[in-house]
Amino acid sequence: MRAYNPNSISYSPAQVPDDNNELRRFLGSELNKIQMAISALSLGHIDKTHVAPAKPREGDIRFADGTNWNPSGGKGIYYYDGAAWKLLG
């Protein structure tokens, strides 16, 4: 299982414990991770992306690192228009 990064907006659920005594701690931890991800999204946070998405969809938005993944104009926020990544500026 990968370590949880509180600076990330993604959420991946952990393995549910078999021991009912651990369930309360597990649920508290999972709800906290969900709350942190939702808060980051509501504040407009976008994690830096180092590789192009495998299957981008029209309307996708990503923060390209400009080094490992450089869609066209270096580091910045890009959106996918259905055919290509466009720098927002």
pLDDT digits (tens, 9 = 90+) for 14-73: 999 999 889 999 999 999 999 988 888 888 888 899 999 999 999 999 999 999 999 999
Print the domain residue range for 1. 1-45
**Are 37 and 54 part of one and the same domain?**
no
Alpha-carbon dihedral of residues 47, 65, 59, 4, nearest 10 degrees? -20
The total of structural domains in the chain comes to 2
What's the pTM?
0.65
**Are 73 and 59 part of one and the same domain?**
yes
Q: Residues 31-38: contacts with CB within 8 Å, 24+ apart? A: 33/4, 36/6, 37/8, 37/9, 37/10, 37/11
**Are 39 and 4 part of one and the same domain?**
yes
Q: Whats the size of the chain, residue-wise?
A: 89
**Are 40 and 65 part of one and the same domain?**
no
